[in-house]
Structures are given as structure tokens and as C-alpha cells.
Amino acid sequence: MSELTRQVEALLFLSPEPLSLVALCEVTDEAPGPVQRALAEVAGRHGPEGGLEVAEVAGGFTLRTRADLAAVCDRLRDRPPEDRLTPAALETLAVVAYLEPVSRPQISRLRGVAVDSTVASLLDRGLIEEAGRSAEGGAMRYRTTRVFQERFGLRHAGDLPALEGFELSGPEAERVRERLVRAGHLPGEEPDGG
């Protein structure tokens, strides 16, 4: 398969709408003849025995699923969308994962924003759970769950990525650093010998 054919196939796969011959020529910086041959080669690779086809529609070309597979494709489309986490939820989840057990006021101080709704959402999704009340102030503390470990592909809670390359800053940095050292996520400072 030529490099141009690979490029055309990748462009057809990537584009959310049909690509005209002119657009394919502009993007690949090739003349219409070679691009048409590449289109034919891509179409030949996706013959009737495959699940995809090159179709000429709406003034352009697209790589799409074959019409006879519509029923199975519709079943996938009918599935509920994947439950995606917002950046705020991911930040809150990271705080819980690295510092667990941690209370809502502690998370709010670290993030600098109120986290009530975010914590409630993570509880509803089963990614965190209550871990008892803290001795000081009696605030509920939270920890990650088995669902969290499954979703992020962790064998156990301690399999989190290393934090050594991350810089901690802000007024809470030293307390966070101390907790991360105690939890084993950062190397501890060597005590002075004298």
C-alpha cells in the first residue's frame, strides 16, 4: 500500500463529513489522478466481506460502515453514553485518591473551591465512599472504591502514578506534601544527622 493510500484512508476515517476530491488533493498535496487511484485502492481494501466501505456521498468520499450492518451499529448507538468525568470531578477524585481518607473541607481548601456537588456526584457514581469521621471537627472523610480501581485500571489503591514530577504550590503545599509522604506517594525527607 502506498503512503498516499494510507494518508487517504486515515483522512476518510478521521473526517466527520465526506471529503471532496479537491479537499483530499489539497490536504495530501497531490494531483487528482493519484488521489483517485488511492481512493480506489482504499475501496478495494474494504471489499464486501469487510465491515467498512468507501462511499461517495454529498459531493465527497467517506469511510463508513456497510448498510447491511445497520442493525448491530444501531444497538451500539442506542447504548447510554459513557459516563465522563468533568475536570472538577477528576481533580477532586485525585485529591481523594492520593490523600485518602480526606474530608470535604480539606478537599475544598486544597482545590480552592466548594466541592459539595462534586463529592456528591462522585459518591453517586460509586467512585468514592464514606470512610468515617475525622477526629478533629467530626467531618466525614472519603476514600476511593473498588469501582474507582476498576475504572482506572488499578490493581489496588496504591497503584497510583508517581507524583515526584509534580510541583506542589500554594498555602496548603507543605501539609499536602507531608500527607503524601506519610501515604507513601512521595519520598520522605532524610532526617538531619546531627
Q: Give per-residue pLDDT as tens, 156-177.
A: 767 777 666 666 666 666 766 6
Fold for the domain defined by 3-77: Arc Repressor Mutant, subunit A (1.10.10)
Q: Which CATH class is domain 87-182?
A: mainly alpha
93-111: average pLDDT? 86
- pLDDT bin (cut points 50, 70, 90) of residue 34 is very high
Q: What integer pLDDT is reported at residue 166 of this predicted model?
A: 63
- pTM of the predicted model over 0.75: no
Strands (DSSP E) found in 10-127: 52-57, 60-65, 102-103
Kindly report, as residue ranges, where domains of CATH 1.10.10.10 are found in the chain. 3-77, 87-182
Does residue 141 surpass a pLDDT of 60? yes
